[in-house]
Amino acid sequence: MIGRILLTNDAIVKVLLNISKALQPLTADEVALLQDLMQLLSPFDNATMQSSSSSTVTISLVIPLVCGLLHTLENLKTNLRTAEGLDACIFMIERVKKRLLMYEERTATRLGTLMDPRFKKQGFFSPFNANEPGKILENELAAVSKVQRTQLSPGIGAPEPPTLIEKPGPSQQTLFGFLERNIARISRTNRVDAIVTLRQYLENPHSPQGSDPLEYWKCLPNDSFTKACAARFLCVPATSTESERMFSRAGIIANHSFFKGKECGHACIS
């Protein structure tokens, strides 16, 4: 709305000046204030559009979008032209930190961000909050590893990988007996599998921005621990955005039809 006012301000001024007893046109200070407000509200509109999709994963966008809002508002401080605009910017930063930054401590949102290959730990505002979901995900991976290994071989566990087989020499003596004994001492646990799997995932290159995180996980084997966790946490949370948009769109259509019918009625009467 503010953008439309600024875009048509020249035409509004011409109309007001040609009408007696009309309201005074916007002053230069008022126009500058509206321009500041449009800069401040534009990032929120962008964040709302990105987080309100009903057909793509959005749970992982919540925390990065909040971080993006904070960084954008901080950078806008030097571009604002009015004192009122600066006060509004400071107020918005405080409210975003108080009302939205708490999502870094919510299990669903922070695990969703960590499981999104575009963000991982780099999508968080606080380094401490970036490390916490790794501990939770490690426990989840250990539980998935336990279930998959039990299903693979109940009561025994997953088979060990094949080792080097030495061809016996003329004396039929093997020199790798120590290797078999050392391998037998290795204790393969669900926790070790979870730690190794999580480290490999976090050290892999990030996916490009704008890509679909689900496409990344489709390429992994179905028995991957991280893929099973991604299927649980990457989701589309329920919001009222779509219903509100439908309600607003229906109101616009109804009003348009009503006024169009009025015009047609007046035309028929005349």
Residues 247 and 264: their CA atoms lie apart, in Å, by 26
CA pseudo-torsion sign 235, 238, 243, 244? negative
Residue 186 in any domain: the answer is no
Query: At which residue do the structure tokens 């011409």 appear?
Result: 14
On whether the CB atoms of residues 59 and 237 are closer than 8 A, the answer is: yes
Residue 242, domain extent: 2-126+209-246
Residue 31 in any domain: the answer is yes
Residue 238 in any domain: the answer is yes
Nearest 10 degrees: Cα torsion 167, 172, 175, 179 = 70
Residue 44 in any domain: the answer is yes
Residue 101 in any domain: the answer is yes
Domain count, the chain: 1
CA pseudo-torsion sign 49, 53, 56, 58? positive
pLDDT tens for the chain, 270 residues: list them.
Answer: 787 787 777 777 777 777 877 777 778 888 899 899 999 999 998 998 888 877 788 999 999 999 999 999 999 999 999 999 999 999 999 999 999 999 999 999 999 999 999 999 999 999 899 998 888 888 888 888 887 767 655 544 445 555 555 555 555 556 777 777 776 666 567 888 888 888 888 898 999 988 889 889 988 887 777 888 888 888 888 776 667 767 777 777 876 665 555 555 544 444
Residue 196 in any domain: the answer is no
What is the C-alpha end-to-end distance of the chain, expressed in Å? Answer: 36
On whether the CB atoms of residues 234 and 214 are closer than 8 A, the answer is: yes
Structure token pair of residue 14: 């011409």
At 267 the pLDDT is 47
Residue 226 in any domain: the answer is yes
At 31 the pLDDT is 85
- Own/partner pairs, 151-156, CB within 8 angstroms, 24+ separation: none
3-class secondary structure for the chain?
CHHHHHHCHHHHHHHHHCCCCCCCCCCHHHHHHHHHHHHHHHHHHHHHHHHCCCCCCCHHHHHHHHHHHHHHHHHHHHHCCCHHHHHHHHHHHHHHHHHCHHHHHCHHHHHHHHCCCCCHHHHCCCHHHHHHHHHHHHHHHHHHHHHHHHHHCCCCCCCCCCCCCCCCCCCCCCCCHHHHHHHHHCCCCHHHHHHHHHHHHHHCCCCCCCCCHHHHHHCCCCCCHHHHHHHHHCCCCCCCHHHHHHHHHHHHHHHHHHHHHHHHHHHHHC
**In sequence order, which residues have a C-beta less than 8 Å from that of residue 135 and are 6 or more positions away?**
none
Burial 171-183 (b: 16+ CB within 10 A, else e): eeeeeeeeeeeee
Residue 215 in any domain: the answer is yes
